[in-house]
Amino acid sequence: MKRKYFGTDGIRGRVGKAPMTVDFIMKLGWAAGKALGKSNRGQVVIGKDTRISGYMFESALEAGLAAAGLDVLLLGPMPTPAIAYITQSQRASAGIVISASHNPYHDDGVKFFNADGFKLPDATEFEIESLIEQPLLMVEPKDIGKATRMEDAKGRYIEFCKSSIAFHTSLRGMKLVIDCANGATYHIAPAVFRELGAEVIEVGTSPNGLNINHLVGALHPESMRSHVLENRADMGIAFDGDGDRVMMMDAHGEVKNGDQLLYIIAKARHGRGLLRGGVVGTVMSNLGFEHALQAYDIPFERAVVGDRHVMEKLVHNDWHLGGESSGHIICLDKTTTGDGIIASLQVLEALIGNGQTLDEACVDMNIYPQTMINVPISKHLDLNHSSEVQDALAWVEGELAETGRVLLRPSGTEPLIRVMVEGQDKDQVAQLAASLAQTVSDFAKR
């Protein structure tokens, strides 16, 4: 079945245009309340990032949930993984996050966690979509839900993050640049690292509702780089707007992406006999990451792009560690979803334990050159039905042999075919990608 509203991570769009309108979000709250709280009168946790539309959609969700007979616990601006944690710790029926993650302020979205702090299964999302199409029937007046605010949510989550590393691990003597993207971690992350002993230089901690992700954060490391170099910091740590992804930077201003951070964590755990099973990446994970893990005989499997798919494979394999090169890192032994703060703490704990700097810990992992070309399309294309595309694909794979990878996949959010070629020779990779993309483009124009 194809979803009508839900995408790869909840519902998302431009504010004021369907589906991100006040009337729809109120109906979504009611439908979610009917689907998630039907066993008994329950409580739903709501948190948001710092974009200005969050206030409006918070009120709309609150109204819809109350009309369905559920109580609401409002957390205010909090990272996405904090909502998952507090949902679980409060024994709530569900958690709802109002956020468009790394998107600019004019976008917003809604995503859900179940009572155990995990993303909703497909069946529940389909049920919510089915209820959205039905008339909104309010409960009896005596059964209307109530709303309260959790005043100590910030402190609870800070302590939870600190507890994710060993008690004796201290960051004393470290100078860290912490870039919060003017997003949901702005009042959380600096406190976590300071309380663990680090000297913290703050970037992107002055949200005004409109500047979330604007030239700061995990997608824009330039600001962090200037602060790292200017202050001679040991490293930089940058989060995205809702705090579920992280990028780190060494003292020389070099960014370390999710693949490299996962490698550091996995290698450290493997060395201590603490790595459960192997590591899950995605089809976009760099081949150099896979080869570096193979050198330590660490099993590696690829999932479809999206943290929910990584999670599914982790649960299926009974493994604990996985993520994406974009910086979504899941440590299932620590929490139930991707968490930028907790992932960065796992990296820091590994570095301290091995007496290494960030660049030293990555020195034995080669990042293979990768070229990505987006080919616009005007209609659905089945590339398997094009002999020209398949012949070109086979030729590129033959040219790379065992030293590279090729990936053709439709974008999940835009009318594009993504052509990715990865290998050891940068010039060869670029040439092969351009040739394959041209073949795909020619087929798309027919």
Is residue 101 flagged as an active site residue? yes
Phi-psi region of 349 (alpha: psi -120 to 50; beta: other; left: phi over 0): alpha
Asked if 239 and 246 count as a contact pair (C-beta separation under 8 A), the reply is yes
Strands 199-203 vs 147-149: parallel, antiparallel or unpaired: unpaired
Whether residue 221 is preceded by a cis peptide bond, meaning omega within 30 degrees of 0, is no
* Amino acid sitting at position 352: I
- Single out the residue of 397, 398, 399 nearest to residue 408, CA to CA: 397
Distances in Å between the Cα of 155 and the Cα atoms of 78, 165, 195, 354 are 11, 17, 12, 30
Q: How far apart are the C-alpha atoms of 196 and 112, rounded to whole Å?
A: 31
Q: How far apart are the C-alpha atoms of 239 and 188, rounded to whole Å?
A: 11
Residues near 87 by Cβ (< 8 Å), separated by ≥ 6? 45, 94, 95, 113, 114, 115, 117
Residue 357 burial class via C-beta count within 10 angstroms: exposed 0-12, middle 13-18, buried 19 and up: middle
Beta bridge partners of 74: 46, 149
Asked if 74 and 62 count as a contact pair (C-beta separation under 8 A), the reply is yes
Q: How far apart are the C-alpha atoms of 109 and 300, rounded to whole Å?
A: 32
Tokens for 368? 């293979």
- H-run or E-run covering 248: strand 246-250
Q: How far apart are the C-alpha atoms of 136 and 293, rounded to whole Å?
A: 52
Catalytic residue from among 99, 101, 164, 285: 101
Strands 416-422 vs 370-376: parallel, antiparallel or unpaired: antiparallel
- Single out the residue of 296, 298, 285, 444 nearest to residue 380, CA to CA: 444
Residues near 435 by Cβ (< 8 Å), separated by ≥ 6? 392, 396
Active-site positions? Answer: 101
